[in-house]
Amino acid sequence: MDRILFGDNQFFAVNHISDEKSRAQAIRFKDDNAIIKTLDYAIDAGIDTFMCTTHDRIANICDHIRKNPVKYKDFKIYPCMPYAHKYANAVTELGYVDTLKQYIPGNLFTTLLKGGKAVLSKDFIAIMELLIDAEMKMFKGINTPVIWLQNVITDLLLGLGMKDILLGFYHYVNKKYDAEAGFITMNMPKLLAVLEEGGVENPIICTSINKVGFRMSGGIEVYEETLRTKKLRVVAMQVLAGGAIPSKEAIEYVCNLPNIESILFGASSKAHINDTVANINHFDQLIKI
Amino acid sequence: MLKVALIGAGKMGISHLSILGAHPKVKVVGVCDTSKMVTDILGKYSPFPCYSDHKKMILETRPDAVFVAVPTKHHASLVKELLEQKIHVFVEKPFCLTPHQGEPLIELAKKHKLVNQVGYHNKFNGTFQELKRLLDANSLGKIFHFQGESYGPVVVKKQSYTWRSDPEEGGGCLLEYASHVIDLINYTLAPITSVSGSILKPIYSNKVEDAVYSLLKLSDDLTGVLSVNWSDDTYRIMSTTITVMGTKGKIVSDANELKVYFKDDNTPEGYTKGWNIKYVTDLTDKVDFYLRGEEYSSQIDYFVKAVLGEVPNTINTFQTAWLTDKAIDLIKKSAK
């Protein structure tokens, strides 16, 4: 994985500290061109990986990338699935069965239903595989070396003790997409234990890592201890703790931790992107010396 | 280990179940749902024993506490049944369909000395907790106006039938959505005691309202406005805001950000004259397991601790949730 990954929260009005900023972002990134322009700033700053949720609008970004193969020759996308609100809203409106019907391609769903609803419940892993395929459709022809399970699903399954589904995601992504599976989580030490027990070696985990311990469930000490003593490849997210820590200080902390392979961040402005990249490069250099 | 069971594994139930499953002091002894698909999947892939009949589950598993997350219509009868068997109860919001249904349950819980809690999770949110702390300390001087608002994209087009679109089942924006902000007004300011007028407006729904606008009066004579709309797709997710205006300043709080304005230097500790911005990141308590917001984990942890006798059972009790049911009833009546 590259050292710096560019995130997409700012494009889809996801803001963990301000509802007001979230609405301002929705206005700013109304047009896909605004997203593309910001992505290009990131590329100019030397970032080649875009980690994004499988939001409907990402399909348009993928179209743009496919239409400009030369420009995006080295560009990679790390899809994070699913866009949970899409399913949550559908479940509220339609219930579980009709939601599956909506998102699983027509014929396949009919095939599954032939055995009655029992088939649905008896082989949930097969259902999950169909849902992964549906989510991956928009990325056809694009380099997606790591495919992620979103934290709300990872952590839901973790709490429910549904280890086989987590492992099912890991194995299917490996097999079908020749990609590595990554897990986003707010409960890194707990998840690592489950993945290790399931035989996943050196798993890729994206999780909150920041100086103030924000969204580091169980406490910052357990996280630091895990990073020091265990085998895992971490993508650090929420390094600024939603803006609570000044950028330099935040990045210095993360750059000094072991086992952090990549740093994920999102930003709307060119200046902010350049500034963050420069900070990461600066502290990485210092450590090498 | 506290033996806990869940009745209703829908969207809220499954979230509670995951948090309970990860809780170090809880053993989930049973999950009950009427959907065979849900119990089949949980039965096969999770470690929890599954049931389709809650009576059978209670009889076989003898839980210390039960989480109830079924459509509101069934709350009253289920909760009564559980209390009569001396089981501690956590029930999803709103408490009951009417204040009439909920009243005897308060007495019943008291009689059997049972812990009782309702799922108004905003009270466990750091910014709203700070709002309450500032108001309890009278930091705004004489308060003359408040505004409680909630907007979000729940019903943004004509929909097929669900229990949320059926008034008989407890559907509609007032019970399902506005209840959150009504409960916060009751908690942070004072209980709503009269409603001078309300508009309950259907937008996409046929049988229920999608927006609620009300003029409220509280037990301390403070007046204010309620404005809630669950058909507003300019919001990505639910956004709840409480604004309070006083002679010494103003507070605007949502679940992520607290903005406080003080007119002069006479401010509480940690605040200065003019605008002060605090974020939930600074105000929120850490949790051991995070699923979808610290407040969801914290409210469950609080309930578990209350049952274990480690904290008093004072936040989100049946009594306070009943006051919210009562305010909902006043709003309904004032709209006729």
List of domains in chain B = 2-121 (3.40.50.720), 123-285+317-334 (3.30.360.10)
Q: What percent of chain B has pLDDT over 70?
A: 100
Q: Span B30-50, mean pLDDT? A: 94
Instruction: Give me the residue from B19, B153, B159 closest to A159, CB to CB.
Output: B19
Q: Quickly tell me which residue has 């002894």 as its tokens.
A: B29
Which residues does residue B67 pair with via DSSP β-bridges, in sequence order?
B6, B90
* Closest residue by Cα to residue B253 from B283, B274, B292, B219: B283
**Which residue is it, tokens 């009576």?**
B55
Q: Which of these ranges, A49-58, A122-131, B78-87, B167-176, has the smallest mean pLDDT?
A: A122-131
Quick check: A181 pLDDT over 80? yes
Give me the pLDDT at residue A122, please.
Answer: 66
Q: Hey, how many other C-beta atoms are within 10 angstroms of the C-beta on A15?
A: 22
Q: Hey, are the CB atoms on B22 and A215 less than 8 Å from each other? A: no
Quick check: A86 contacting B, CB < 8 Å?
no
What tens digit of pLDDT does each residue of A217-266 get? 999 999 999 999 999 999 999 998 877 788 999 999 999 999 999 999 99
C-alpha–C-alpha distance, residues B211 and B224, integer Å: 17
Q: CA nearest B286 in A: which residue? A: A217
pLDDT of B47 reads 97
pLDDT value, residue A114: 54
Give the lowest-confidence range in A55-59, A147-151, B13-17: A55-59
Per-residue confidence (pLDDT) for residue A288, from 0 to 100: 76
Pick from A107-111, A278-282, B153-157, B202-206: least confident: A107-111
State yes or no: pLDDT of A178 exceeds 60. Answer: yes
Give A118-148 pLDDT, tens digit per residue: 456 668 888 888 889 989 999 999 999 999 9
Q: Which two tokens stand for residue B234?
A: 């300019």
CB within 8 Å of B92: residues ≥ 6 apart: B8, B12, B13, B68, B69, B70, B72, B75, B118, B119
> Exposed (0-12), middle (13-18) or buried (19+): which is A131, by Cβ within 10 Å?
middle
Q: What is the mean pLDDT of chain B?
A: 95
* Percent residues over pLDDT 90 in chain B: 89
pLDDT at B160: 72
Q: Are B37 and B88 in contact (CB under 8 A)?
A: no
Q: Tell me the two tokens of residue A100.
A: 């599956």
Interchain CB contact of A246 with B (< 8 Å): no
Q: What is the pLDDT of residue A111?
A: 59
Cross-chain residue pair A158–B287, CB shorter than 8 Å: no
The domain locations on chain A are: 4-288
Question: Can you read off the two tokens belonging to residue B72?
Answer: 């509101």
pLDDT (0 to 100) of residue A258: 94
CB contact under 8 A, A122 and B153: no
CA nearest neighbour of B322 among B91, B102, B110, B122: B102
The verdict on a CB contact (< 8 Å) between B241 and A243 is no
Of B18, B37, B160, the CB nearest to A159: B18
Q: Taking residues B24-53, what's their average pLDDT?
A: 95
pLDDT digits (tens, 9 = 90+) for B230-246: 999 999 889 999 999 99
pLDDT at B171: 87
Separation of alpha carbons B77 and B84, rounded Å: 11
Q: Which residues of B touch A85 (CB under 8 A)?
A: 236-237
According to DSSP, residue B311 is labeled S
Helices and strands, number each (H, E), in chain B: 11, 14
Enumerate the β-bridge partners of residue A181: A147
Here the tokens at position B177 are 């959505």
CB contact under 8 A, B15 and A156: yes
In this structure, are residues B102 and B317 in contact, taking their beta carbons and an 8 Å threshold? no
Q: CA A96 to CA B91: how far, in whole Å?
A: 22
Confidence class for position A109, pLDDT limits 50, 70, 90: low
Whether residue B100 has pLDDT greater than 90? yes
Over 80: is that where the pLDDT of A94 sits? no
Query: Averaged over B253-267, what is the pLDDT?
Result: 95
Q: CB distance B22–A190 less than 8 Å?
A: yes
Q: Which residue of A has its CA nearest to B40?
A: A121
| Closest-CA distance of chain B to residue A244, Å | 7
* A4-288, CATH topology level: TIM Barrel (3.20.20)
Strands A76-81 and A146-149: parallel
- Probe site for chain B from A57, A121, A215 (most B CB atoms < 10 A): A121
Cβ separation of A120 and B37 shorter than 8 Å?
Answer: yes
Q: Determine the number of helices (DSSP H) and then strands (DSSP E) in chain A.
A: 13, 8
d(CA A147, CA A129) in angstroms, rounded, equals: 13
B323: tokens are 């006051």
Rounded to the nearest integer, the mean pLDDT of chain A is 90
Buried b (16+ CB within 10 A) or exposed e, A184-212: bbbbbbbbbebbeeeebeebbbbbbbbbb
ipTM for the assembly: 0.94
For an interface test with A, which of B11, B41, B285 has the most A Cβ atoms less than 10 Å from its Cβ? B41
Whether B256 and A219 lie within 8 Å, measured CB to CB: no
